[in-house]
Structure 1
């Protein structure tokens, strides 16, 4: 069957991937929830709200009718925020077959269920093959053909490699990985640490602080990952430390920018309003804090960021709590002998 892709979500990432796929010669359609936005994109060949400088290829199909976009598609890309995934999957029920591959590109953990997106997908479509596409990849740079590398993660090797082939080009290199749990958690949890990195910047702290935060942050990420069945090595890769680096250091990062504002004294709601787009790490902080508590994993950085966001804790006092924790050896045992492979 000829490859035909339906990208569901008209934000910056969905738009960037739609442009990429169209340039790759793939028959691609993008679903935009707003009929008005869809009509404007068709007329102007621009997504003025999110990627205003990127011309949309003439071959890219744009529609606000979900059924028309997914019709005959072989691949469905979920490119909506994490909190919207369940509603979208409910809308897709009865509209897709088990032969269609579902690819998720959102990075988060659902608040109500504390589930990863693959787990939510399998609630509704247990027979469909699933891929998590993740890594250090700002939409603004991908849309400009700036060299980028990501990971295609699936429990099915052939499907992971198929998505690798579909998305790969001279500026977008895709690796494969069987560790869906680790890849999903890396993409979600790094947003929490990026909020912390932004808060550090907003407070006027320096490079030493950010380096410490990122290093101990990746340890926290891997510790939770191992407890949930991930391969610890995944957190040393693109979807772990790679995504962590780009999100903690770039001004493209909404999470870092929101953190900067909070560090400067903005309230959570003020920071969200100022950013004007979804900041995935804010909801993911709550989910992760609660999940870690449920399974007994200690995550001190996540805990203090949670307290700042949801308990109105004083930011400098939270930093003091982290710095004043009981002394310990750096290299606590995280790894297990379990390896995920095909």
Structure 2
């Protein structure tokens, strides 16, 4: 005897829906929980980074000066602040000094940092202690480092000139911080000393992630020494090196403390950079609109470098 298929009763249909609803509610509850965890960080990012950037941009389009603090009026001037700072006679010199300071610092920091990272990759007694001591320049406050190096580089009584004279390398004291032709080199040297620990730390961590099996396999094919460095180390270190260079440029291009502590932008504006110009416009001349315009130019330069370099690195990895 053939029985007709049994159809679900009305009382069973709601039961099926009732089973599905908790799953949808649970998913929405999980999404809401994730959003609540992310929301504080998003609010902090907007408050600490988004608002200052927008405020700085608005300020650069206003005649924002010392009187604004008393009257509350900051008339809109459009791009006048940008035109003023770009056409200033010191802008081109500050731009060139910024480029020299950034390129010189990054090149030597990276080269010395990579050399030290390769050196510390070889296990030897007290290597961990030496790596820890190497972090001291990075941990010291910049104003303390600047004051210490200022006393070292002092022309008449500085320990550097005294040591060089005792070794017979120089006859007359070198005006490290007083000569327009030498001051920028001295400032770059101090910044290199401060930035080396940062490069060593990141590059050493990148080298530690390269498997030893790659070097063992490469040695069987004759890839040792420089060949191993060029064909194994550098390709596997490219991602970390990219991060180091981008962060280094973004940090170095806005360095202010070291220059102010060593030379104050002198002598004869020989160490003036866009960062020191922005500081002087804002907190010496109290022309905050022009200072904001200069700082925005620095931000754009940093973003341009980061975008160009990261795009180039990504294209090289894809190829």
- Bucket of the pairwise TM-score, normalised by the shorter protein: under 0.3
Tell me the TM-score normalized by structure 2. 0.27
Q: Which has the larger radius of gyration?
A: 2
Task: Flag the structure with higher strand content.
Answer: 1
Q: Which has the higher contact order (CA 8 A, sep 6+)?
A: 2
Task: Flag the structure with higher helix content.
Answer: 2
